Amino acid sequence: MHQEINHPFLKHKLTALRDSKTQHKEFRELANEITMLICYEALKNIEIEDYSIETPMAPMIGKRMKNDIVVVPILRAGVGMLDGILTLVPNARVGFVGMYRDHDTKMPVEYYSKLPEDVKNPLVFIIDPMLATGGSVVATIDLLKNRGFNNIVLISIISAPEGIKTVETAHPDVPIFTGNVDDRLDDNKYIIPGLGDAGDRLFGTK
């Protein structure tokens, strides 16, 4: 199941993010703002439980999140979304998964993983700015499930239909929340119209 967030303010921010004239500082700020907007929608489905507190006036039964939240950015571009989600969930645990796409085969290759331990009923948010072929995301979900994480949500800023189909076919239990579903992938597996290379634009590399 995938959901495109059709909020007008998010679409406004996305246009600025895509603009080739947008420089690194503003690009990073926009990526985090957009992540917050998408994450806010994704968090609507979290489980909550009763929790007793004392207000300055009286005792009451409030609500709190039932699950520990774990955020897993896919290196390196996913790091550019991390501050956005941690602004909303500052107590979240953070893991990291490193994947790169082989230039010749276009297949994902894992080169690093570090995940939190001793978490209670973890709800994992994978964050990656661009869901293109879906290969790296599927490989990351495979890795997480093999480590015992089964409650997983994917957050991407923009997605290609091909990537959505790949993830939904391999892992139909993983919801996808995205800021926009773009037209297609080109012959080099880049999203069209897309926004270019998210990692390069975030960190000023080529």
Tell me which residues are annotated as active site: 101, 105, 197, 200
The answer to whether the beta carbons of residues 13 and 30 sit under 8 Å apart is yes
Q: How far apart are CA 24 and CA 58, in angstroms?
A: 49
Q: If you write DSSP's letter for every residue of 117-178 in order, what string do you get?
A: -S-SS-EEEEE-SEESSSHHHHHHHHHHHHTT---EEEEEEEE-HHHHHHHHHH-TTS-EEE
Contact present, 175 and 3 (Cβ < 8 Å)? yes
Quick check: helix, strand or coil at residue 192? strand
Q: How far is the first Cα of the chain from the last one, in angstroms, to the nearest whole number?
A: 34
